[in-house]
Amino acid sequence: MREATDPALKRARSGKGPTLLEFNCYRFVGHSRSDPANYRSKEEVEKWKKRDPVTVTRAKLVESGVMSAEAILELENQVKVAIDAAVTEADKSPVPAPEECLEDIYA
């Protein structure tokens, strides 16, 4: 990710315009709650779960001594609390008028 995003960031900051970055990822579940994803074997899914960037990064952080497993769990809990608070705030917010849907998109 960093190898791709660093040059894109430098390009944008130097005024040379945007860069389109495409990142491929693997879905561990079906397209929806009603999709059991029977078109993939359990072995295939397990193979890809072992390559999950979050799991791999978490293990590297612990193995290298950058973070402890406890510190990672605490950080994950802090993120969950922040997300839950944002969702609660969004749920309490009024629904915007349809004519507002394109405001501030192309600033």
Selected catalytic residue, list 2, 13, 33, 39 = 39
Decide if 55 contacts 49 (C-beta within 8 A): yes
Cα separation, 9 vs 16, whole angstroms? 10
Selected catalytic residue, list 31, 33, 51, 106 = 31
Q: Which long-range contacts (CB under 8 A, 24 or more apart) does 22-30 make?
A: 26/51, 28/52
Q: Is 27 one of the annotated active-site residues of the chain? A: yes
Q: Is 39 one of the annotated active-site residues of the chain? A: yes
Q: Which residues are catalytic?
A: 27, 31, 39
